[in-house]
Amino acid sequence: MASSEKSTSKGQAWFCTTGLPSDIEIEVDDMTFHLHKFPLMSKSRKLHRLITEQETRSFSSLNPQTSTALTVVVAESDKKGKGHEIEDEEKEEEENEQETEENSFPHIKLEDFPGSSESFEMVAKFCYGVKIDLSASSAVPLRCAAEHLEMTEEYSPDNLISKTERFLSHSVYKSLRESIKALQACESVSPLAESLGVTEQCVESIVSRASSADPSLFGWPVNDGGGGPDLSLIPGGASSKSAKKQNRDNTNTELWFEDLAQLSLPIFRTVILSMRSEDLSSDVIESCLISYAKKHIPGILRSNRKPSSSSSTAASENEQREILETITSNLPLDKSSISATTRFLFGLLRTAIILNASETCRDLLERKIGSQLERASLDDLLVPSYSYLNETLYDVDLVERILSHFLDSLEERSSTALVEADGRSPSLMLVGKLIDGFLAEIASDANLKSEKFYNLAISLPDQARLYDDGLYRAVDVYLKAHPWVTEEEKEKICGVMDCQKLTLEACTHAAQNERLPLRTVVQVLFFEQLQLRHAIAGTLLAAQSPSPSQSTEPRPSATRNLTIAEVVNGNETRGEEEVDAGKWKKTVRENQVLRLDMDTMRTRVHRLERECSNMKKVIAKIDKVGSPATTVTDRPRSWSITKKFGCKFKTQVCDSQEATVVDHRSRRV
């Protein structure tokens, strides 16, 4: 019978051409199926019951006395006048009987049928014995349809319920991607699929399969570049066969992340909560959340802000806010091992500010970013000020809060964090360099107040910076962009620097920088001269040390001082344990250069002392020329002359023999 069955679809009607006229109509949605009673009744208990009830109602509605209902007794005198009327009534009754006989087969409309007309078409084919091709997307609605039509094993052996169950168990639940597709199909038949346990089994399969996936592959789908590197092109890397396998694994991992992103938000939330309850790896959870956010929230990454082809179906602003808050609330709070997560988190934070997400959502993102701030780039920190309350171009307050969270997290993990021999944390030094770059970037903003610049600059402890060159660059940019600041503000801003931690190049530039206060210039010259003295002393000690032929063990002091000299000259080398005899001439030349530089610095200091002394003499002469009796009213004139000559400092600061230097810095420890 199955070989002769053929189905055709004409408009909104579906016909099964077996050579026999159909005797029943089944209506599902907007499609009418012209079928036969026997195949349907043999497989479905519910269709058997509906067809039987329909036939019973049809037979009971027929009038068995239609042919004898007309018993009219009339007089012979009236028969001639009314004969034509009786004949017309008899003809109309015969036509009604014929129409009733033609439409005697039942018409059944299936209300609330799970799935669609396509699912019922597969049911009809199964009833007729036609082979049907099952997939993860079609098996779930077909399983629900079979349950709705009561196609059980008790009613008929090898029925549709058992057939779909076997397919789901053997072909769907054993595959991660197939389970995701089946879970997506559960959305259209959600209530019945949940009651049958199909949704729960799909979620359990996804969680179990995802937990056994390779965590090293989770970074690739969230990177801007897409796939991983071509290992076959790396010298000494994996072989071509291994590279192909790696690329294939990356592709498969990326595909199931994309499949998971197709789920609706309620079902996706169910999957994530199940992953968290099973203590799944935070990398897996974060990768799922990142892929879902990139799919449904456009513009998270700055490199991917072009409207996609599916922009017409993009989520609304309220839907995007709900998705963002759901993703943020499910992000693991511990530090992620995926390097691309930091850029993604900054994208989420910018979107949260634009969408006006809740304070809790934004605070969670700031804390998460603060826990891994050392992975951020300068471009990540440049978050525009979206509020009219902020006068600056970039949100400086946001960076201050993130930096505060970083320092708090650094203190929490200080016991287990990697710390160098001198007490410096690599993460702290990376953040110090990052903040210096941010300060230099925002320093040119004319609306940036000196107090805000100062507070951010001193937020980091001294251990965050090996050299203060980056901080000096930021200070120089700020003073250049804000020439109207007072001398007091200049000295306060310059107080964030430690002149002892400036390299020789930075000292040389600062000594000739007219924008710096004179107090700062003197400090720079003093420490520059001090550095040169130590460098020259170290070079002389290294030169006087015995050659390798005279001594078999190197002198530690000579080796240490030579390294200092190399650092001052900007040539940081790790040094050798012994001074090679062939470098004697080079050492002598370096000694001569250092002596010349020291003389130059000494000359500059003496010149500044002479200028200061001359200005004091001029001021004294002007005071003598004036009234001999100096009164309180004469003081403004003296101060105006002092201002004219630029002497806004105490004269003792200009003394190169001053033993102490005032430190205005109040750094956080």
Residue 558 lies in a domain: no
Asked if residues 147 and 191 have their Cβ atoms less than 8 Å apart, the reply is: no
**Amino acid identity of 421?**
A
Predicted local confidence at residue 252, as pLDDT: 57
Residue 398 neighbours by CB under 8 Å, 6+ apart: 349, 366, 383
Backbone angles phi, psi at 73, to 5 degrees: -105, 115
Asked if residues 654 and 608 have their Cβ atoms less than 8 Å apart, the reply is: yes
User: Per-residue pLDDT tens for 401-460?
Assistant: 999 999 999 888 776 655 554 557 899 999 999 999 999 999 999 999 999 999 999 999
113 compared with 71, residue with greater pLDDT: 113
Backbone angles phi, psi at 149, to 5 degrees: -90, 5
Percent of the chain past pLDDT 90, that is, above it, reads 39
Asked if residues 286 and 331 have their Cβ atoms less than 8 Å apart, the reply is: yes
Residue 110 lies in a domain: yes
Residue 471 lies in a domain: yes
Last residue of a domain, one of 499, 520, 541: 541
* pTM greater than the 0.75 cutoff: no
517-540: burial string, b at 16+ Cβ within 10 Å, e else: bbbbbbbbbbbbbebbeebbebbb
Element (H, E) at 473: helix 469-481
Backbone angles phi, psi at 545, to 5 degrees: -70, 150
Predicted local confidence at residue 303, as pLDDT: 59
Residue 26 lies in a domain: yes
User: Per-residue pLDDT tens for 657-666?
Assistant: 333 333 444 4
How many structural domains are present in the chain?
A: 2
Q: How confident is the model at residue 61 (pLDDT cuts 50, 70, 90)?
A: low
Residue 76 neighbours by CB under 8 Å, 6+ apart: none
Predicted local confidence at residue 153, as pLDDT: 93
**CATH code of the domain in which 444 resides:** 1.20.930
Predicted local confidence at residue 57, as pLDDT: 75
How far CA 391 is from CA of 181, 384, 397, 449, 475, in Å, comes to: 50, 11, 11, 10, 20
Residue 522 neighbours by CB under 8 Å, 6+ apart: 605, 608, 653, 654, 656
State the residue for tokens 């059944």.
108
User: Per-residue pLDDT tens for 333-379?
Assistant: 777 666 668 899 999 999 999 999 999 999 999 999 999 999 999 99
Residue 46 lies in a domain: yes
Tokens representing 456?
Answer: 């951010």
Kindly state the DSSP code that residue 553 receives in the 8-state scheme: S
d(Cα 28, Cα 33) in Å, to the nearest integer? 8
Residue 148 lies in a domain: yes
User: Per-residue pLDDT tens for 512-534?
Assistant: 899 999 888 988 888 878 877 77
Last residue of a domain, one of 475, 506, 541: 541
The number of CA neighbours under 13 Å toward the Cβ of 386 is: 10
How far CA 271 is from CA of 50, 204, 206, 302, 588, in Å, comes to: 39, 9, 8, 28, 72
**CATH code of the domain in which 150 resides:** 3.30.710.10
Give the pairing type, strands 107-109 and 24-28. Answer: parallel
Q: Which of 410, 423, 401 is nearest to 372 (CA)?
A: 410
Last residue of a domain, one of 492, 520, 541: 541
* Cross-strand partners of 13: 10, 32
Q: Which residue range is the domain that position 474 belongs to?
A: 420-541
State the residue for tokens 């400036």.
502
Tokens representing 617?
Answer: 């003499």
Asked if residues 364 and 401 have their Cβ atoms less than 8 Å apart, the reply is: no
